[in-house]
Amino acid sequence: MKALLEQVLQGQIRAIARVITRVENSTAVAEEVIQTLYPHTGKAHIIGITGSPGAGKSTVVNALVQTLRQKDAKIGIVAVDPSSPFTGGALLGDRVRMRDLSGDPGIFIRSMASRGSLGGLAQATASVVKVLDAAGYDYVLVETVGAGQAEVDIANAAHTTVVVEAPGMGDEIQSIKAGILEIADILVVNKADRPGADRTVRSLQMMLHLGPVGGTRKSGRLSSTNGTEANDIGWNIPVLETVATKERGMAELADMLGQHMIHLRNSGEWLQRERERSWREIETLLQQRFMRQFQSSVTSERRESLLTAVAAREVDPYTAVNQLLSKSETDV
């Protein structure tokens, strides 16, 4: 493993692929890998690409990466696909759509199965992003599943969140229901050559300036203040029009990503987002480790008896939890 991780730091593609596979399949290996690679991370610009199915996320990623490659940037792509209910694997559909990028040594594409995780990301996504960061990639693009109304986790995993919309995908209320306006740093209306694109752009721009729902935002999050001062330090969410199949609007999107990175650095929000992201990751790891310790300390017979009692209305759920926790603490 030590030799393999040294090859990762050198940017060797086969080593990166092998390490990512081991990270996905083993929590213990993921811990060892991240402990070794973590001092070499923190340099990549992590970009989240999310939106409803059919909006053209994969096509936008494909065209955007080709634009970024013109600047000689190394790019890692993590495409999270829905899991098969039978095998648990990913369909790898994003690799089919991104075949234009194959063969480029400056691009690494990895499809991952969500494996039942909600929020649009797989549980191992954060670790995989760190592997690519340590391997020297300038940008790491994370494309979510496209679940529709449960993909806000990407806002906690990325520095810049790009939300892709398309005309004819539903009414404007859908954007509010999905939490899109709360998590977006950049809004992209793809397929802008279709009828109704102008209306979609105007509707999104209008909602960005509505009081409690829109208003002044600071890097994709609603600001509590409204006024000149907030506008000076905040980030005004742009609404960009693209036609990804024709690579139209990609230069503007790439430029806006650079502007947002500069804003994060100059405003101090880069560090703030790193702190928030780190805390959520630590919190998740604590929950996972606690559950493993808890399950090993409470026998299956004890759990089954309590479940039976709760189902029979002999014990309420809160009392059952208290009994399980007290038993666990006693064993510790």
**pLDDT tens by residue, 117-152:** 444 455 688 889 999 999 999 999 998 876 444 456
Is residue 128 within 8 Å of residue 24, measured between CB atoms? yes
**Token pair in block for residue 230:** 């907030």
Q: Pick from 112, 219, 107: which is nearest to 158 by CA?
A: 219
Q: What is the domain partition of the chain in residue ranges?
A: 39-268, 298-331
pTM recorded for the entire structure: 0.81
Instruction: Calculate the average pLDDT of the chain.
Output: 80
Question: Is 189:242 a contact under the CB 8 Å cutoff?
Answer: yes
Strand-pair partners of 243:
248
Q: Residue 114, SS3?
A: coil
Could you read off the pLDDT of 155-195 as tens digits, one per residue? 778 899 998 888 876 655 555 555 566 788 999 999 999 88
Nearest CA among 127, 135, 122 for reference residue 31:
127
Residue 199 has pLDDT above 70, yes or no: yes
Q: What's the sign of the alpha-carbon dihedral 11, 12, 15, 20?
A: positive
Q: 39-268: which CATH number, 3.40.50.300, 3.30.565.10, 3.20.20.330, 2.60.40.1180?
A: 3.40.50.300
Distance CA 14, CA 8 (A): 9
